[in-house]
Amino acid sequence: MLDSFFNPRSVAVIGASTRPQSLGHVLLKNIVEGGYEGDVYPINPSADTILGLRAYPSILDVEAVVDLAIVMIPSTVIIEVARQCGEKGVKALVVISAGFSESGNAELEEALIAEAERWGMRVIGPNCAGIINTSNKLYASIESRISTGKIAFVTQSGALGGAVLAWAENEGIGFSKFASYGNARAHLESDEETEVITLYVEGVKDGRKFYEATKRVARIKPVIVMKGGLSAAGSRAVQSHTGSLAGNSAIYMAAFKQAGVTYANTIEDMFDMAKALIFQGRVSGGRVVVLTNSGGPAVMVADELEELGFSVPAPSPDIKERLSFLPGFTSVRNPVDLTAQGSPENYAKVLEALFSEDYYDAGIVVCVPPLGLDASEVAEALAGVELRHKKPIIACFMARELVVEVVPLLERRGIPNFPTPKRAARALRVLLKKS
Amino acid sequence: MLDSFFNPRSVAVIGASTRPQSLGHVLLKNIVEGGYEGDVYPINPSADTILGLRAYPSILDVEAVVDLAIVMIPSTVIIEVARQCGEKGVKALVVISAGFSESGNAELEEALIAEAERWGMRVIGPNCAGIINTSNKLYASIESRISTGKIAFVTQSGALGGAVLAWAENEGIGFSKFASYGNARAHLESDEETEVITLYVEGVKDGRKFYEATKRVARIKPVIVMKGGLSAAGSRAVQSHTGSLAGNSAIYMAAFKQAGVTYANTIEDMFDMAKALIFQGRVSGGRVVVLTNSGGPAVMVADELEELGFSVPAPSPDIKERLSFLPGFTSVRNPVDLTAQGSPENYAKVLEALFSEDYYDAGIVVCVPPLGLDASEVAEALAGVELRHKKPIIACFMARELVVEVVPLLERRGIPNFPTPKRAARALRVLLKKS
């Protein structure tokens, strides 16, 4: 069913326009220039061709099969257009048009859904910003430039979606799928290109249905949810712009927990956790060791881990014994501080020793390269340890140009890096279980 | 007194080296290449010249006056070198060398301080990463590339300092002064180039003295403090690497509050608040209006403001009356949502109306530019309102290239922009007072 949205054989753009600044033009252009390989049919009663493609007065004039229709026409004619799509055999509708429950016109939205159901069509929207599948290059959205990755991002706010995609591009985060589901919803549990599902939710119409669907998905792959409208003012705003109730914060939190969904408080938090999950596996404990060559950042990591409810215990006597090769000035507590003298070899040997018994569940490795230390050698050394022990390692390599080259190297070797100590600690929490 | 550190007439680099990879070489190079205009004297008994400068066997061999000495020699000879500096009439010592209380050698540190006091010299360090004054281009630190700005940053952890400066450069944040004060402290309240003082503190040796000094400074200009070592593990780490006790979290929080100091939980938080303070003045209330053209991000702003304890009330009847020119579909609650149709003129007219009476204390303006909206026109329109009303405005303009050009424009007009809705809300809090 989802395939009709993300892997259609052909797409009609109803409301495609010749005016360069219009939504109906930009969206068609994004599909064409994005590189989608299926057939594209612009629908516009007063144009012969748009962007070099033959235009059709109505979808019923297209001879070939149409799987997906993107609709950007005034809401007043939406029912008639939906009927034509149904008659044509369209399987999936993405309705960009506004003017439904978010504008106080809930009846029109119900009529649209009813019309779609009559023909067995699925609907994303109305009042949404479209969909993207990076794997087949279907950019059926006003958002055009996103990188390929393993995160699916579904947002109830189209504009927030655009802003988040732009922010993610700056942070080097890529996506498998993007869907702005406006007032509706989408399902991604069976999508092979998606490893983690991220969700921005404002209001939910049928709480039970949302809960059951989310719970089912979360059993199959990790789901991270950010919730807007938890405050009184935020909730009033949600009601006005999505036409749904934001609901009680405590109820949502309890439901997310029961459904096995991870709650994120900010945009950074959501994508940092998604990144941790893509690079590393979950473990059943919550005992973390912090290995560093610099005191300050490691202190901040330890502070945040304890604040989040995890344990940062000193090494066991056996582990301490194994660390006896270290020079006397090294602190063999936790954080384990190699000081500015820490070599790549010692990073690896110490992490080996720390992971040698079933004492720590995960590690955060901090590196602020002093003069003379090649951070890429530290990255290589760590990658070896990680592969052998299969315990999650999160990195926080901080500092200028040196690290700009090392972060991609770390991440190619499967170790995610975060730009500040507390973001590293917060990202790790999604992999751990509190004891 | 501070002038001897940040505005010396001449600098000696004791332990300057000819080996390109050594600390003593890099530091001298940073001073020379940084563009410092005073005289620089490399001190090294076995070199004739270093980096084209005449080297001297000892500081006593320099004929001219020396105000500041940067010291990077083994700790075993530090007392003798300090004595020579005193004899030479040096006013300020920056001791980069390690091997003092952080390595369990508190007596040596006390002896160093005593020796300096005997000659009336002030000390920054030991075990620190140096100092920078961007206004006279004195880069007496291993950290070299930082931009000029109005924030002073003082850090107890040298390595964290380097990492923070690199992070800040990426975020476009500039500095007036940087001091890594290792185990000691510095004072910046009378520095004209510094508008906001940011401080990373781990342990404090004399709590009462620290409290009194901070309180005195905070009366003169804003002080923002980030504190490491609040957890048990973090506190143990602090003890090991700075040789001082991190202390009890509740006591610190109470002391910060009483001293009129703002507490920051993360690096982002500290510099976001500093930026807000540089661009905008403080007000005595806590009633905020959110103006937006996009629902989702405004919901997140409102949620965070209420979470932080501020008020996001609906407009007064009078203000609503003034807003009656708006099209019917616009939500005149708070957030005030202009929807994607919001024009630059309406942004300005609505903000005028919202600020027309003494009802709101501050505003956060969100803009996710849809197709056809020139965000720079919105920026210009907002700047006009801000100048007339003198109420703080914080911006959250989100989205790709469009905004990359608009953010500098906003900030030239005095409106700080933050990259995500919650960072904007959190930055604003430093300007408000809870009701």
Ordered DSSP codes for A376-397:
HHHHHHHHHHHHHH---EEEEE
Q: What is the largest CA-CA distance in chain A?
A: 82
Strands B39-43 and B92-95: unpaired
CB contact under 8 A, A228 and B420: no
The torsion of the CA quartet A338, A343, A347, A349, rounded to 10 degrees, works out to: -110
Taking residue A22's Cβ as centre, other Cβ atoms within 10 Å add up to 16
Q: How many whole angstroms separate alpha carbon A157 and alpha carbon A124?
A: 13
- Domains B1-126 and B145-279 are alike in CATH topology: yes
Predicted local confidence at residue A410, as pLDDT: 93
Q: Which tokens belong to A247?
A: 């609901």
Predicted local confidence at residue B330, as pLDDT: 55
CA-to-CA separations, B357 to A101, B287, B338, B362, B391, in angstroms, rounded: 33, 13, 20, 12, 11
Cβ(B223)–Cβ(B217) under 8 Å? yes
Predicted local confidence at residue B257, as pLDDT: 93
**DSSP-assigned letter for residue A414:** T
Domain edges within chain B:
1-126, 145-279, 281-431
Q: Which residue of B has its CA nearest to A302?
A: B234
Cβ(A149)–Cβ(A175) under 8 Å? yes
Residues from chain B that touch A265, judged by Cβ atoms under 8 A, are: 422
- The residues of chain B scoring below 70 in pLDDT are 1-2, 144, 182-187, 240-247, 328-331, 399-402, 435
Integer distance in angstroms from the first to the last C-alpha of chain A? 41
Q: Does B299 touch chain A (CB under 8 A)?
A: yes
Helices (H) and strands (E) in chain A, counts: 15, 19
> What is the secondary structure of A280-301 as a DSSP string?
S---S--BEEEEES-HHHHHHH
Q: How confident is the model at residue A94 (pLDDT cuts 50, 70, 90)?
A: very high
Distance from CA of A119 to the nearest CA of B (A): 32
Q: Up-side HSE of residue B329: CA atoms within 13 Å toward CB?
A: 17
Cβ(B125)–Cβ(B15) under 8 Å? no
CA-to-CA separations, A350 to A331, A356, A385, B184, in angstroms, rounded: 12, 10, 10, 31
The closest of B80, B163, B161, B180 to B123, measured between CA atoms, is B180
Q: Where are the alpha helices (DSSP H) in A50-143?
A: 78-88, 106-118
Give yes or no for residue A184 having a pLDDT over 60.
no
The closest of B25, B26, B31 to B49, measured between CA atoms, is B25
| DSSP SS3 for B313 | coil
Predicted local confidence at residue B259, as pLDDT: 94
Q: How many whole angstroms separate alpha carbon B170 and alpha carbon A278?
A: 25
Predicted local confidence at residue A221, as pLDDT: 93
pLDDT tens string A23-56: 899 999 999 999 999 999 999 999 999 999 999 9
Residues from chain A that touch B240, judged by Cβ atoms under 8 A, are: 295, 331, 333, 337
Please, what sign has the CA dihedral across residues A427, A432, A433, A434? negative
Predicted local confidence at residue B157, as pLDDT: 80
Cβ(A235)–Cβ(A246) under 8 Å? yes
Predicted local confidence at residue A348, as pLDDT: 96
Q: How confident is the model at residue A82 (pLDDT cuts 50, 70, 90)?
A: very high
Q: How many whole angstroms separate alpha carbon B416 and alpha carbon B201?
A: 26
Predicted local confidence at residue B372, as pLDDT: 80
The torsion of the CA quartet B418, B419, B425, B429, rounded to 10 degrees, works out to: -40
CB contact under 8 A, A231 and B305: yes
Predicted local confidence at residue B428, as pLDDT: 97
Average pLDDT over residues A210-226: 92
Residues from chain A that touch B300, judged by Cβ atoms under 8 A, are: 160, 228, 234
Predicted local confidence at residue A269, as pLDDT: 96
pLDDT tens string A122-173: 999 888 889 999 999 999 998 767 899 999 999 988 778 888 888 888 788 8
CATH homologous superfamily of A1-126 equals: NAD(P)-binding Rossmann-like Domain (3.40.50.720)
Interface test with chain A among B22, B164, B200, B303, by most A beta carbons within 10 Å: B303
Residue A95 pairs in a beta bridge with: A71
Helices A344-354 and A375-389, packing angle to 10 deg: 20
Average pLDDT over residues A394-400: 86
For residue A388, with 0-12 CB atoms within 10 Å meaning exposed, 13-18 middle and 19 or more buried, which class applies? Answer: exposed
Q: Cα angle at A377 between A374 and A383, to 5 degrees?
A: 145
Residues 6+ apart with CB under 8 A from A344: A373, A374, A377, A378, A380, A381
The torsion of the CA quartet A141, A144, A145, A146, rounded to 10 degrees, works out to: 10
Q: How many whole angstroms separate alpha carbon B272 and alpha carbon B426?
A: 8
Q: Which tokens belong to A377?
A: 């050698």
Q: How many whole angstroms separate alpha carbon B323 and alpha carbon B350?
A: 7
CA-to-CA separations, B377 to A399, B218, B343, B403, B419, in angstroms, rounded: 36, 38, 9, 12, 19
Predicted local confidence at residue A103, as pLDDT: 75
Q: How many whole angstroms separate alpha carbon A407 and alpha carbon B253?
A: 35
Cβ(A129)–Cβ(A96) under 8 Å? yes
Average pLDDT over residues A259-274: 95
For residue B392, with 0-12 CB atoms within 10 Å meaning exposed, 13-18 middle and 19 or more buried, which class applies? Answer: buried
Domain A145-279 has CATH 2.60.40.10: no
Q: What percent of chain A has pLDDT over 90?
A: 65
Integer distance in angstroms from the first to the last C-alpha of chain B? 41
CA-to-CA separations, B213 to A51, B114, B187, in angstroms, rounded: 68, 21, 8
Q: Does A154 touch chain B (CB under 8 A)?
A: no
Q: What is the ipTM of this complex?
A: 0.88
Of B26, B237, B299, the CB nearest to A202: B299
> What is the secondary structure of B346-377 as a DSSP string?
HHHHHHHHHTSSTT-SEEEEEE-PPTT--HHH
Residues from chain B that touch A294, judged by Cβ atoms under 8 A, are: 157, 159-160, 163
Buried b (16+ CB within 10 A) or exposed e, B44-62: beebeebbebebbebbeeb
Tokens 């620089």 correspond to: B40
Q: Which of 3.40.50.1820, 3.40.50.261, 3.30.70.1150, 1.10.1070.20 is the CATH number of B281-431? A: 3.40.50.261
Q: How many whole angstroms separate alpha carbon A207 and alpha carbon A210?
A: 5
- Per the model's pLDDT, the better-predicted residue between A426 and B1 turns out to be A426
Q: Does B338 touch chain A (CB under 8 A)?
A: no
Taking residue A375's Cβ as centre, other Cβ atoms within 10 Å add up to 23
Q: How many whole angstroms separate alpha carbon B229 and alpha carbon B242?
A: 11
Q: How many whole angstroms separate alpha carbon B336 and alpha carbon B395?
A: 14
Overall size of chain B counted in residues: 435
The closest of A199, A94, A169, A99 to A138, measured between CA atoms, is A94
HEC assignment per residue over B158-177: HHHHHHHHHHHHHHCCCEEE
Q: How many whole angstroms separate alpha carbon A85 and alpha carbon A99?
A: 20
Q: Which of residues 380-399 of A touch B (CB under 8 A)?
A: 398-399
Of B21, B238, B300, the CB nearest to A371: B21
Of A166, A298, A307, the CB nearest to B399: A166
Give yes or no for residue A243 having a pLDDT over 80.
no
Residues from chain B that touch A232, judged by Cβ atoms under 8 A, are: 306, 312
Residues from chain B that touch A314, judged by Cβ atoms under 8 A, are: 236
Distance from CA of A24 to the nearest CA of B (A): 11
**DSSP-assigned letter for residue B340:** T
- Per the model's pLDDT, the better-predicted residue between A68 and B183 turns out to be A68
Give yes or no for residue A279 having a pLDDT over 60.
yes
Q: Which of residues 29-88 of A touch B (CB under 8 A)?
A: none
Residues 6+ apart with CB under 8 A from B102: A295, B127, B183, B240, B241, B242, B243
Predicted local confidence at residue A424, as pLDDT: 97
Predicted local confidence at residue A204, as pLDDT: 78
Interface test with chain B among A103, A181, A236, A299, by most B beta carbons within 10 Å: A299
User: Phi/psi at B188 (nearest 5 deg)?
Assistant: -130, 10
Helices B421-428 and B267-279, packing angle to 10 deg: 60
